[in-house]
């Protein structure tokens, strides 16, 4: 089974690129700009969303906090990732905790792609608990592809030990995107319906093994290098102020919700009459249909440059309007300091980007402002003002 999910940016141009410089952690936007490829990048690649699609907990369950690092402070780069371990003895990997997909995979030692060689690789022969399934796996993301096999092993996330977890071991990672990112693999936190080949996601196994206090997880994203967390099984009130607003999931694949409208300067400029959106920790930006994004860019005073980026006057950021997302009758303002980021060259960039479909993606730009709770027990998303 193949499907498309959006991560944080479209894949690096595969045509016309022979080899990009290998500097692990180097910002993808900067690499493309240096190679003169950024304009073509925006022309050819938009954020793509595919058409995919209660437990009682005994004593001894827990709430586990997974700290996230945020070292790639750039809108084109996957920003937040944490460390998990796989196997016995454990082999450590950095992964993106991605609510926009549902599979866990890491590179394997049998992978010869440049992306694998540039990252940690899993060695099945060094794990006494590893089991091969003989199953092949292929996943196409909006940002790149992976091909590999499926194995089973013990996966440890924070303090949670997930035994007999099926996961992917990439044997090929075509293209250039995964070469330059900081993380090794991806841990999907979407619904099982989104998982390739019907593989049970890690979160579902944690719930089925009665390891969590509650059938939910929550996310706080800091603007600093440290301080971001995924909290499995609980909600931490120290990360937000005010009340939690709950929104029903409209489709159980992505964490998809219904949005009423988008307002700037008291004018409805997008999502007129309602639209669908996903809350996606694996996406750096806020993305939507091109005509609607164009309306937002115009309303906030952003202008497109020769690289395809939308720039604003850095000295005007404090006077720029909020972009207000209206969801279930509640207004969620995102101020300019949250949707404008300064790049390496001192330019201020708008963090709104086109998709190729109708779904809106509320990525890290939105989640940094609103502590997000993903409640599987009640199939709802909770939003509260982050501190």
Give the C-alpha separation, 250 to 32, whole Å.
Answer: 37
Per the CB < 8 A criterion, the answer to whether 131 and 153 are in contact is yes
State the greatest distance between any 2 C-alpha atoms of the chain, in Å, as a whole number. 61
Q: Does 280 qualify as catalytic in the annotation? A: yes
- Catalytic option among 98, 162, 204, 375: 98
* Burial of 240 from C-beta contacts in 10 A (0-12 / 13-18 / 19+): buried
Beta pairing class for 131-141 and 104-107:
unpaired
Closest CA relative to residue 351, chosen from 42, 76, 26: 76
- The terminus-to-terminus CA distance of the chain in angstroms comes to 40
Helices (H) and strands (E) in the chain, counts: 8, 27
- Catalytic option among 48, 184, 260, 280: 280
What residue has token string 């409805």?
Answer: 268
Q: In what order do the strands lie in the sheet with 348-350?
A: 303-304, 310-312, 348-350, 340-342
What residue has token string 């999907």?
Answer: 188
To which H or E segment does residue 364 belong?
helix 364-367
How many other C-beta atoms lie within 10 A of the C-beta of residue 70? 18
SS3 content of the chain, % helix, strand, coil (to 5): 15, 40, 45
Per the CB < 8 A criterion, the answer to whether 35 and 64 are in contact is no
Per the CB < 8 A criterion, the answer to whether 271 and 296 are in contact is no
Give the C-alpha separation, 61 to 59, whole Å.
Answer: 6
How many other C-beta atoms lie within 10 A of the C-beta of residue 101? 30
Per the CB < 8 A criterion, the answer to whether 280 and 255 are in contact is yes
Catalytic residues: 98, 280
């Amino acid at each position: 089974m193949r499907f498309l999910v959006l991560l944080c940016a479209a894949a690096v141009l595969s045509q016309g690129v022979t080899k990009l410089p290998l500097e692990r952690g180097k910002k993808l936007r900067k690499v493309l700009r240096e190679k003169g490829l950024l304009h073509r990048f925006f022309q050819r690649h938009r954020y793509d969303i595919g058409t995919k699609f209660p437990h009682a907990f005994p004593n001894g369950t827990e709430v586990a906090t997974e700290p996230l690092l945020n070292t790639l402070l750039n809108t084109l780069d996957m920003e937040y990732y944490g460390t998990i371990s796989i196997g016995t003895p454990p082999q450590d990997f950095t992964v993106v905790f991605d609510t926009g997909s549902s599979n866990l995979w890491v590179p394997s030692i049998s992978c010869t792609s440049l992306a694998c060689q540039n990252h940690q690789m899993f060695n099945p022969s060094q794990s006494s608990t590893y089991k091969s399934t003989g199953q092949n796996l292929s996943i196409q993301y909006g940002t790149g592809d992976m091909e590999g096999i499926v194995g089973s092993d013990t996966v440890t996330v924070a303090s949670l030990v997930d035994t007999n977890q099926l996961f992917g071991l990439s044997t090929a990672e075509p293209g250039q995107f995964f070469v330059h990112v900081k993380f090794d693999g991806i841990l999907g936190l979407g619904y099982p319906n989104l998982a390739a080949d019907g593989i049970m996601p890690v979160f579902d196994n944690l719930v089925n093994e009665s390891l969590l206090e509650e059938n939910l997880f929550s996310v706080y994203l800091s603007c600093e290098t440290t301080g971001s967390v995924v909290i499995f099984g609980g909600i931490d009130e120290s990360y937000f102020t005010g009340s939690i607003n709950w929104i029903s999931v409209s489709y159980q694949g992505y964490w998809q919700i219904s949005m009423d409208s988008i307002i700037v300067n008291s004018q409805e400029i997008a999502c007129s009459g309602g639209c669908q959106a996903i809350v996606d920790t694996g996406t750096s930006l806020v993305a939507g249909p091109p005509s609607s994004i164009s309306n937002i860019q115009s309303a906030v005073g952003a202008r497109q440059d020769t690289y395809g980026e939308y720039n604003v006057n850095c000295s005007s950021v404090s006077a720029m309007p909020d972009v207000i997302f209206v969801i279930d009758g509640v207004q969620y303002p995102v101020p300019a300091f949250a949707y404008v980021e300064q790049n390496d060259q001192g330019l201020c960039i708008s963090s709104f980007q086109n998709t190729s479909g109708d779904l809106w993606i509320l990525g890290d730009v939105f989640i940094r402002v609103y502590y997000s709770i993903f409640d599987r027990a009640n199939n709802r998303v909770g939003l509260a003002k982050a501190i």
